[in-house]
């Protein structure tokens, strides 16, 4: 039984056990994050062999989590696997759902989770496309349904987008924000429902122009990736676009940048492409990437990506003057 000191706005804040519903790539990464934060995790996934794959994935993630820093008592042994979502949700203080991006499946899942979880337990969806308003209609207690959208891989990338639906209580949003912050995430509060939320829309804007430039023959796939990875992407890893433009403006800050470069920005906006993912463009992109990666080992790239992400996250945490 949780007393008033364990709640805020009617929702649990003393989180000791998390239910993870769906243990594919995102779900398994969430499991690793929660275990590394010293929590008990009860997970479920209907796919054959899901438990074995999950435990193998956690074991593979664990050395990286040790480098980042484990919470007291953190252990893969605190993972339990059950066959039904009701069994996972019934004992949980927080639920993180990662099921298929199909509305009918999502609603049925939330109907079952809502029936099993205590009314003061927040139900969070990792959905990258569906909104909390769309899924909470299946619930008796829709007020506790929120978006908790991570970035892949969640156990390494801190960002979580948090959003309430039309029938979500502010207390549920606040409880989710506090929980994610407590386990080392960087939650941001979204103010309205949008297709793709916020960060994916920002990415989509870049992908749109990147694919246009490749399709129009202005640059190769390798050149596009190099232009970001060895150019502005390095700065974007440290700060967002508004702060970047502020620091680029010298003593005049953002105001000077907008006055000085505003006409050029508008000229580029007017000239941006509007590509379509035709079979021809898809083939060009895939062929260009294959050529760029010829002779490179995918597993080695992933390992090096993870190592550099760990180093970067650690250095950012040690730089308190950067927001």
Three-state secondary structure string covering 132-187: HHHHHHHCCCHHHEEEEEECCCCCCCCEEEEEECCCCCHHHHHHHHHHHHHCCCEE
Return the beta strands (E) in the chain as ranges: 7-8, 11-12, 17-21, 40-44, 79-81, 94-97, 122-125, 145-150, 159-164, 186-189
Range 231-235, long-range pairs (CB < 8 A, 24+ positions) = none
Q: What was the pLDDT predicted at 6?
A: 64
> Do 162 and 208 share a structural domain?
no
117 Cβ contact partners less than 8 Å away, ≥ 6 residues apart: 19, 89, 90, 92, 95, 123
> Do 243 and 219 share a structural domain?
yes
Report pLDDT digits (tens) over 160-212: 999 999 999 999 999 999 999 999 999 999 999 999 999 999 999 999 999 99
> Do 167 and 211 share a structural domain?
no
Q: What was the pLDDT predicted at 8?
A: 58
Tokens 């606040």 found at: 174
Structural domain includes residue 297: no
Nearest partner of 206 among 222, 191, 225, judged by Cα: 225
Over residues 17-36, the mean pLDDT reads 98
> Do 182 and 206 share a structural domain?
no
The CA–CA distances, whole Å, from 220 to 106, 216, 290, 298 equal 39, 10, 12, 20
Structural domain includes residue 175: yes
Given a contact cutoff of 8 angstroms between Cβ atoms, the answer to whether 163 and 134 are in contact is no
Domain interval for residue 262: 199-292
Q: What was the pLDDT predicted at 41?
A: 98
Q: In 43-102, where does DSSP find H-type helix?
A: 50-68, 85-90
Model confidence, pTM: 0.92
Report pLDDT digits (tens) over 201-218: 999 999 999 999 999 999
**Antiparallel, parallel or unpaired: β 7-8 and 11-12:** antiparallel
Quote the number of domains for the chain: 2
Tokens 């299946």 found at: 138
Q: What was the pLDDT predicted at 5?
A: 43
């Amino acid at each position: 039984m949780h007393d008033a000191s364990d709640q805020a706005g009617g929702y649990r804040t003393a989180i000791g056990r998390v239910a993870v519903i769906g243990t594919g790539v995102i779900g398994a990464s969430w499991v690793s994050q929660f275990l590394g934060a010293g929590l008990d995790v009860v997970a479920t996934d209907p796919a054959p062999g899901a438990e074995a794959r999950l435990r193998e994935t956690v074991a593979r993630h664990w050395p990286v989590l040790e480098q980042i820093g484990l919470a007291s008592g953190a252990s893969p042994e605190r993972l339990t696997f059950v066959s039904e979502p009701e069994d996972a949700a019934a004992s949980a203080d927080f639920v993180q759902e990662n099921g298929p991006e199909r509305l009918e499946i999502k609603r049925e899942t939330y109907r079952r989770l809502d029936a099993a979880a205590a009314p003061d337990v927040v139900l969070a969806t990792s959905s990258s496309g569906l909104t909390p308003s769309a899924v909470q209609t299946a619930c008796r207690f829709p007020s506790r349904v929120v978006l908790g959208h991570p970035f892949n891989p969640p156990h390494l990338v801190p960002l979580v987008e948090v959003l309430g639906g039309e029938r979500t209580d502010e207390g549920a949003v606040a409880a989710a924000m506090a929980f994610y912050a407590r386990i080392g995430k960087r939650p941001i509060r979204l103010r309205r429902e949008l297709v793709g939320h916020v960060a994916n829309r920002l990415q989509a804007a870049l992908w749109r122009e990147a694919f246009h430039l490749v399709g129009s023959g202005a640059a190769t796939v390798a050149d596009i990736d190099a232009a970001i990875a060895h150019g502005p992407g390095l700065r974007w890893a440290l700060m967002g676009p508004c702060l970047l433009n502020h620091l680029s403006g010298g003593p005049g800050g953002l105001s000077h940048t907008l006055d000085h470069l505003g006409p050029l920005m508008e000229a580029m906006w007017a000239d941006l492409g509007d590509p379509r993912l035709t079979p021809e463009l898809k083939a060009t992109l895939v062929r260009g990437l294959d050529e760029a990666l010829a002779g490179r080992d995918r597993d080695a790239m992933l390992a090096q990506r993870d190592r550099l992400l760990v180093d970067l996250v650690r250095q950012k945490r040690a730089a308190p003057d950067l927001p």
